[in-house]
Amino acid sequence: MTDTSGHPACWPVESLLQQCEVKRTRGSGPGGQHRNKVETAIVITHQPTGITGKASERRSQAANYDQAVNRLRINLALGFRSPDNPASANRGRELWNSRVRSGKINISTQHEDFPAMLAVALDALENRDFDASQAAADLDCSTSQLVKLLKKQRAGLELVNRRRREQGLPVYR
Segment 107-127 mean pLDDT? 94
Task: Looking at 58-153, list the stretches that DSSP marks H as alpha helix, in order from N- to C-terminal side.
Answer: 61-79, 90-99, 114-127, 132-138, 143-151
**What's the pLDDT at 1?**
42
- Asked if residues 100 and 139 have their Cβ atoms less than 8 Å apart, the reply is yes
22 DSSP β-pair partners: 44
Structure confidence by residue, pLDDT tens digits, 132-156:
999 999 999 999 999 999 999 999 9
Residue 6: which residues within 8 A CB-CB, separation 6 or more?
A: 82, 88, 89, 90, 91, 92
For the chain, the domains span 8-79, 90-166
Q: How confident is the model at residue 91 (pLDDT cuts 50, 70, 90)?
A: confident
Look at residue 29 in the predicted model and tell me its pLDDT.
59
Average pLDDT, the chain: 88
> 35 pLDDT band (50/70/90 cuts)?
low
Note the pTM of the prediction, 2 decimals. Answer: 0.88
CATH 3.40.718.10 given to domain 8-79: no
Report d(CA 57, CA 130) in Å as an integer. 35
